[in-house]
Amino acid sequence: MARRVWSFRPIRPQFGGESVLVNGAVFKTVSETVRAGSGRFDSYTPPPGSERKLFFYKEFPHMIRDWVELNMTPGIGPRAAAKLLERFGSAEAVYKANRAELEQLRLPPEAVDTIIARELQSRADAEIQAVKRLGGDILLLDDGVYPPSLREIYDPPIVLYVKGAWSDCLDQPCIGVVGSRRCSTYGQNSAIMLARDLAQRGMTVVSGFARGIDAAAHRGALDAGGRTIAVLGTGIDEVYPRDHKKLAAEILDRGGALISQFPLGTPPVSENFPYRNRIISGLSLGVVVVEAAENSGSLITARLAMEQNREVFAVPGNITSRNSFGTNYLIKGAGAKLVQQWQDIATELPQHIAATLLPPPFSEKKETPMVDRLSFVPEGLSTAESSVFKLLTPDSPVHVDWLFDKSKLPISELTAALLSLEIRELVRALPGRCFVRRL
């Protein structure tokens, strides 16, 4: 059974038990209690609510600046920041410390020099104004509206840059959906289906905005009219990959949010993405891994989720497929729960959340089994459309020439049938004149 998360509260790390190393990712194979956070940052908690932004900008502009400045300091990552805050209590107090006190914490010399000289003060002021012009907001670790689940991980980001309806998104229970960038059609359809089904029931889908499974998860949530959070490995003013500009706009237009720990203008360098991954798992009750190759970053996200005492789920795959190595291993050797439908995820969530997602035990309304959904032919299709639809499957793309050969339809009639099915969102066209059925 996957690990349960009944509440997000600070607990003492307990180690021991067998571990397995897979390409640098350590997975616990027993369900002992693991580290869930620190819970020690409470020097100032402003009043929560919609007045927070105006209150903070007007009454405590220097406090925001101190946190932003600390976050921008070279050599100060989440763990170094945690040491500073544990020692001095707040970002404001860090900048009142003397050199000897800072050097006692064994910080990089350049970081100490930058803090003492306040070299980034004006840049932090400009950053705050730029975020306001962008329509974004800045959440501080000491802030009353900082996500509680993220605050309680081992190394939470001290600053979050957010844009969109982030408060509404975080008010709902969150589930992470991640996977391979170079995914199969099977994986893409699985991510869309699971994200859509969970978003329809009021869960916020959290993913990393990458190509492949991440984009499919965001798309599935949007298709359901639900909310989704894109956690970025860049600043919130950067869109990476570039071809996701339309997706980013749709996320914001439909009540979703963009979140990043990185200052504006941060480029998509490789070392940023593990930091992004811990935010995905930290915001979520659990993480669903849809496809993951042997060296996939999704395995890092799964490991982080286990360390944070989150649920870990995995969609099984073809045993001969590279993209299934990680997910099949998670199920076989790391205690992840096998997922076929959204109910497999819902049953492992905290009881009060599961109760809102799952139907009553004796409900007359039953979910349509997956086998029946695949054999179901929608009403209102013409003879040609029905014959073409029956030839398509959700996980095996077929070329138009193959459809022409099997359907025995004239090419003009086949093309018209495919276009009609595409307009009705029953099939999806893929590159190379291939087609697949939508789930």
Domains in the chain: ranges and CATH: 19-32+165-357 (3.40.50.450), 60-132 (1.10.150), 370-437 (1.10.10.10)
The DSSP bridge partners found for residue 162 are 137, 259
- Whether residue 77 has pLDDT greater than 90: no
Taking the C-alpha atoms of residue 168 and residue 227, their distance in angstroms, rounded to an integer, is: 9
**What pLDDT is attached to residue 375?**
59
31 versus 38: the higher-pLDDT residue is 38
Within 8 A by CB and 6+ apart from 144, the residues are 45, 46, 47, 48, 52
The CA distance from 276 to 253, in Å, is 23
Distance CA(263)–CA(161), nearest Å, equals 8
Quick: pLDDT tens for 339-389: 999 999 999 999 889 888 887 654 444 455 554 455 567 777 888 888 888
pTM of the model: 0.75
- The label of the residue with tokens 């030839």 reads 391
Residue pLDDT, tens place only, 117-170: 998 989 999 999 999 999 999 999 888 899 999 998 988 999 999 999 999 999
pLDDT of residue 403: 87
361 prior amide bond cis, ω within 30: no
Are the C-beta atoms of 209 and 230 separated by less than 8 Å? Answer: yes
Q: Rounded CA gap, 64 and 46, in Å?
A: 12
Q: What is the pLDDT of residue 283?
A: 96
Q: What is the pLDDT of residues 201-214, one digit of tens each?
A: 999 999 999 999 99
- Provide the pLDDT confidence category of residue 411 given band limits of 50, 70 and 90: confident
Average pLDDT over residues 26-51: 36
